[in-house]
A and B are shown apart, each in its own frame.
Chain A
Amino acid sequence: MNEHVTALDKLLFVGVVLLSVLGILLVGLLPRSKGEMVEVRVAGELYGTYPLSPQTLHIPVAYGEAVVQIGPDGAAITEAGCPDGQCMREGPISQSGQSLICLPGRLVITVTGKGGGADVTTY
């Protein structure tokens, strides 16, 4: 190991940053269309599919109960019960392919188009 910062160090840092930015741009540029349905997955299992119309869902998760509120602007997780609540700070989502993820509760909410969510898993 070298005592001083090397060219490879700089290359690694710049490389990771560039690849990350490229990845973020790619995800952002994915074709989106107005979603039709909301797909709810808990712990890897499909829990249910709901139309993207105003309603409130109560979903049992590892930490108790998560509440998903679907309003005119789309779906949002309003109650997660988990310690960090990261997923509650994002959304609402309404475009097909967008998703909200609660890691501790193992909950994934994905907006899908008419033909189901196959376009979500391709990247």
Chain B
Amino acid sequence: MSRLTERRTVRTLCQCAILIALGILLHVAENSIPFFTSAMGGKLGLANLVTLYACLTMGLPAALTVGLGRVVVAGLLSGAPTAILYGGAGTLISVLAMVGLGRLAGRHISAVGLSVAGAACYNVGQILVARLLLGSGAVFAYLPVLTLIGAFAGLATGTLIHRIKLPDRR
């Protein structure tokens, strides 16, 4: 491995670690404010800020690492291991969708649109896992409620990221 690629690898590793730590912090902070957690099972999802940031600045492998890493550690910390399955599936689908859509739509889309699309895909992933785990199609009745809350949550997180000056993609 050349000196340069080694430096890049170390930098990516450090960025992933910092973003995962930041994501865990946001997750715990949001969960400790009851107002944010009580809306019909939907929530703001501040921690998804770091996933979105990684999608926009770091590429698919790093974005998946950040998103899934945060979900696993935060899930273990909050004492609800099944949350890892819901959050994991949601994150996987939303990261794939955001990175894919970002490449496809190019200049026709901004962080706001990517965030809204990512939020909707996150909800679809959650509901698919719920269908598998609960064995009842009744869960699909919750999907439109979640995507409605998710649209506004995605708008909020997307707007926050939009206000940040993102570094150039390296």
Where the two chains meet, the residues of A that have a C-beta atom closer than 8 Å to any C-beta of B are 1-10, 12-13, 16-17, 19-24, 26-27, 41, 43-45, 62, 82-84, 86, 89, 99, 101, 103-104, 106-108, 110, 120-123
Contacts of B107 in A (CB 8 A): 1-2, 6
- B136 located at the interface, meaning its Cβ lies under 8 Å from any Cβ of chain A in the complex: yes
B141-170 interface with A by 8 A CB criterion: 141-145, 147-148, 150-151, 154-155, 162
- B10 located at the interface, meaning its Cβ lies under 8 Å from any Cβ of chain A in the complex: no
Inter-chain contact B113/A6, CB cutoff 8 Å: yes
- Smallest CB separation, A74 vs chain B (Å): 15
- Smallest CB separation, A13 vs chain B (Å): 5
A35 to B143, CA, bound (A): 23
Where the two chains meet, the residues of B that have a C-beta atom closer than 8 Å to any C-beta of A are 37-38, 40-41, 56, 78-80, 82-83, 86, 102, 105-114, 116-117, 119-120, 130, 132-145, 147-148, 150-151, 154-155, 162
A113 to B80, CA, bound (A): 34
Inter-chain contact A8/B147, CB cutoff 8 Å: no
- Smallest CB separation, A108 vs chain B (Å): 4
Question: What 8 A-B pairs have minimum CB-CB distances, sorted nearest first?
Answer: A44-B135, A23-B144, A9-B113, A121-B137, A20-B148, A99-B138, A16-B151, A108-B136
Contacts of A108 in B (CB 8 A): 134-136, 138-139
